[in-house]
Amino acid sequence: MHVHPAVSAARVVLFDFDFTLADSSEGVVVCMNHALGRLGLPPAPADAIRRTIGLDLHTALRILAGDEWRSREGEFFDHYVSKADEVMLAHTSFLPGAARVLRALRDSGLRTGVVTTKVRHRVEDALERDGLRALVDVVVGFDDVARPKPAPDGLLRAAGSLGIAIGDCVYVGDSEVDATAAQGAGMAFVAVLSGTTGDDVFARYPARAVLRGVDEIVMSGRGSRR
């Protein structure tokens, strides 16, 4: 298998998690609506919740319930995390080709990482469960940075922890939040269309490639949208 040219020149390939490497959307919907209910709010439509995936929970609450609930962000966060501890891992599955891509990148001599707005242990738990933890060199979660995406802090931390220059890294993500974070870090970006963001949005960013999914990273460029 050949690595897509959009990433082959890099030394490190960093990935977003949700809708890029994995799908935990059912668990997110369950946890979001549990937390909303504990605040006395009605459940939100599943599609509306899915569109917030990739954002931090405080921002998601404001989108789903309004700015007037800002004062309850801490309570919302605690209710979400409590429910997520119960159900999230069971509702998390890696997308088709994700494991193959991680193995192929490792075989090609590239290092890999995950930068996400999930708390770090949820990603690590999923990787461990599926025997993939040894294929990922660094995981940076919401709990590791002062500012979550779209701030570039997580990407900068991941590159720094590996001792790799930003110019030798590429970030793969499915959302405008990911594209913005990469742009802010000065890092190359590859978009995947496996989330809720269309390629019209990514056209506004200097993406090296727009792919249908992460599996195309090891398909010799076949299927690239750009």
Report helix, strand or coil for 23.
strand
Q: Are 136 and 17 in contact (CB under 8 A)?
A: no
Which residue is catalytic, options 16, 56, 153, 178?
A: 16
Q: Is the dihedral of CA 209, 214, 219, 225 positive or negative?
A: negative
Burial class of 89 by CB neighbour count within 10 A (0 to 12, 13 to 18, 19+): middle
**Residue in the structure block whose two tokens are 């770090």:** 120
Give catalytic status of residue 16 as yes or no.
yes
Sorted by sequence, the CB contacts under 8 Å of residue 125 that are 6+ apart come out as 89
**Annotated active-site positions, please?**
16
